[in-house]
A = this chain, B = another copy of it.
Amino acid sequence: MPGRSARDLIKRHADTGPRPSGRGFLAWLVPRPVFLQDVNMAQNIYDDPKFFAGYSQLPRQVHGLKGAPEWNAIKAMLPPLEGKRVADLGCGFGWASRWMRQQGAASVMGYDLSEKMIGRARADTDDEAIHYRIADLDRLELPVDSFDLVYSALAFHYVADFDRLVGMMHRALTLGGALVFTIEHPIFMAASQPDWIEDEQGRKIWPVNGYSIEGERRTNWFVDGVLKYHRTMGTTLNTLIRQGFQIDRIEEFAPTTAQISENPGLAEELERPMMLLVSAHTT
């Protein structure tokens, strides 16, 4: 079952390596053990050595934000950053955390499940207003009324309980505070076999099925059995609205003509959206 993740816009093939060590691997690192009995730990693929080695070579990890074709679209959705207190959920190597500070953010708290990611982020950052913490987004509780912006890139589709996460983010944000996040698009996530096929005329087709059947999806991406959670567009947006967010903008990333000229492989991204970008604010 070949599969791809939106953390990589370059096609990769199935990987037959060992299964990641899975749930519970980092349980001792998580600060709120009181929840262990009722909330599953997130799967931590990122600390799998094989995964980490492959992941570290992705253009967006080597080149930073400019290596991500959707970055300009994200920037256009961000509020002015001057003086803002920012939480970066799933901060990875800290590229966005550092960029936010360069734009004038007062402080950035970066959170990631992966000890290796946080280690690398700390090593690459020399800024006392940026702090990194290991945290599972399915259990993280941010302090109430403490942030002006919550930002997250391609992390929420690993979260089992999106409703809990959204409620927590709403409490953590000040009134009028902004939430800007990207996830794998539900069109990309839904299918049982998420890989291109061709029609009789040789045109690429993205196969969609099981769209309304939400829940676990497993794909192979550097390692086998990467666990993600498919939610419909309706569920994602309605959860935000129900928890008190007002939707400001929805983008389904598509490359520009200039991007396709520079990198013809991106043209297939016009056929189906791989990423969903959402901005909203608390009311």
Chain A residues with a Cβ under 8 A of chain B: 187, 190-193, 197, 199, 203-213, 232-234, 237-238, 241, 246-252, 254, 269-273
Task: State whether A208 touches B187 (Cβ < 8 A).
Answer: yes
The list of the 7 closest CB pairs from A to B, nearest first, reads A212-B254, A205-B207, A209-B271, A234-B250, A212-B270, A206-B208, A234-B252
Residue from B193, B199, B233 within 8 A of A252 (CB atoms):
B233
Interface of chain A, main secondary structure: mixed
Contacts of A270 in B (CB 8 A): 210-213
* In the complex with contacts A246-B246, A247-B247, A208-B238 CB distance below 8 A: no
20 residue pairs of the A-B complex, CB under 8 angstroms, read: A187-B208, A190-B272, A191-B205, A197-B205, A199-B209, A205-B205, A205-B207, A205-B208, A206-B209, A208-B272, A210-B271, A213-B270, A232-B252, A233-B252, A234-B249, A234-B251, A234-B252, A237-B250, A246-B246, A247-B247
With A251-B234, A252-B232 already in contact, the answer to whether A199 and B207 are too (CB < 8 A) is yes
Cβ-neighbour of A212 out of B199, B232, B237, B269 (below 8 A): B269
The residues of B that contact A209 with a CB separation of less than 8 Å are 199, 203-206, 271-272
Which residues from chain B contact A246 at a C-beta distance below 8 Å? 246-247
Complexed CA–CA distance, A77 and B232 (Å) = 18
The answer for the CA separation of A273 and B211 in the assembled complex, in Å, is 7
